[in-house]
Amino acid sequence: MDQLNTITEFLETTGARLRFFDMGRRVTKISREQFLKFEKNETPYPYPLQQQAWFALLFQDKNNQQEPLIWFLRMPLDEQGKLLQAARDDFMHRLIERIGEKMQAEQGGEELEAALQDNPYSFKPNEDRMAVFHARISITMKSPPSKFYEHAQRYFSGELGWDQWSFVGYQGIADIAARQSEQATETMLVTAIAVMPGQPLVALCHCLENETVSVKLTQALLVRTEQELQQDSPDLNLLAATLRGTAQSKSKTVQHKLIHTLLSAPSGKHIEILTALSGRAWEQLQDHALRMQFLERLAENSAGQEAFNLCMADLLFIPGMREPVLSAVRDPNRSAQLSEAIGAMFKGVTGKSDG
C-alpha cells in the first residue's frame, strides 16, 4: 500500500466522509481541497490563532447510519503560517500506533473513537465554541436544533420579557444565530437587537460572528452601536460585540461605517474594540484608510505598548495581511505617536533576537 502522508488521506481509507471546520478565529467550514493543501504544506493555514491551527474533523460513514465522530485538533505552525511537518508526522505516528492494522471500514468508528486518548494534539473547545459548533453541525447534517432552541426563540421574539435573558441557554442562542438567514428569524432579531439588554446581545453577537450576516442585521447592529456611543459611559463589551457580530456581513459598506464610527469615538482606543476588529473582522483592514485609522488608535490603545505589539504580531501572521500592514507601517503620513509605537515594537523584537 502507498504511504499515506496526510491525516485526510489516512482517515479517508476508512470509507468515511470528512468535513473540516476552523475552531480558532471562527467556527467556519474549510474545504477538503483547502485543508489538503495546508496538510501538504502548499498553503498556510487560513485562520491561524496563537501560531497554531485549531480545527475540527467531522467524519461519518457514507451510509449516514451512525452519529458523526468529531476530533478537535491543534497543530503548530511555522513562521509562514504553514504546518510544521514534524508535528503532523508525529501525530500520524501516534495515530497509526494506536489503531494498528485493525482499522477496517466496518469497525473504523470504534477504533477511531479511541484513537485520540492521551493525544497531545487534541483539545477541548470551550462551551461557547462548542455550542456554536453544534449549531453549525445541525444545519450541515440537516438535523433539528437543540432542545434549547424553542425557549431562545420565545425570548428573542419578546414573548418572555427582555429581563428573562438569564434563563436562555447559550446553545439556544447559537441555534438562533445559525438560522439568522431565515427571513422570520432575521426579522425577529432585527427587532430584538434594538431593545434587548446588553448581556444577551453580547452573547448573540459572539455567535453571529461565525455567520454570514444580512444587511438588515448589520444595519440594526450599527444603529445599536450609535445609540450606545451616545451614553455617558458606553459599554465596551457591547461595542466590541456589535463589531464582532458584523464580522462576516454581506454589506461591507454598512460594516465599514460601523467600524469607522467606533474608531472615531473616544471608546475606539480601548483594546477590547481594537482586538475585536483585528481578531474577528480583519478583512476590513484591507482598506487603506480604515487600516491607518485602526493603527493610529492602536498606537494609543488603553493597554499600552505590549498590547500594540501582540495585536500587530497576530495581524502579521494572518494570510494576506502581512503586506497591507507593513505598507501602513511604512506610510510617511503616519503620526509621530504611531511611529513611536512601531519603533518600540521593532526595538523589542531586535532586543529579543540579540538576547
Contacts of 63 (CB under 8 A, 6+ apart): none
Any idea what DSSP says for residue 106?
A: T
Question: Which sign, positive or negative, has the C-alpha torsion 246, 46, 28, 309?
Answer: negative
**What pTM was computed for the model?**
0.92
Distance of CA 70 to the CA centre of its chain: 18
d(CA 311, CA 294): 11
Distance of CA 309 to the CA centre of its chain: 21
Which residues of the chain have a pLDDT value below 70?
A: 1-4, 62-65, 100-113, 349-355
Q: Give the pLDDT confidence score for residue 318 in this predicted structure.
A: 96
d(CA 192, CA 197): 9
Q: Give the pLDDT confidence score for residue 63 in this predicted structure.
A: 67
Q: Give the pLDDT confidence score for residue 112 in this predicted structure.
A: 66
d(CA 49, CA 330): 25
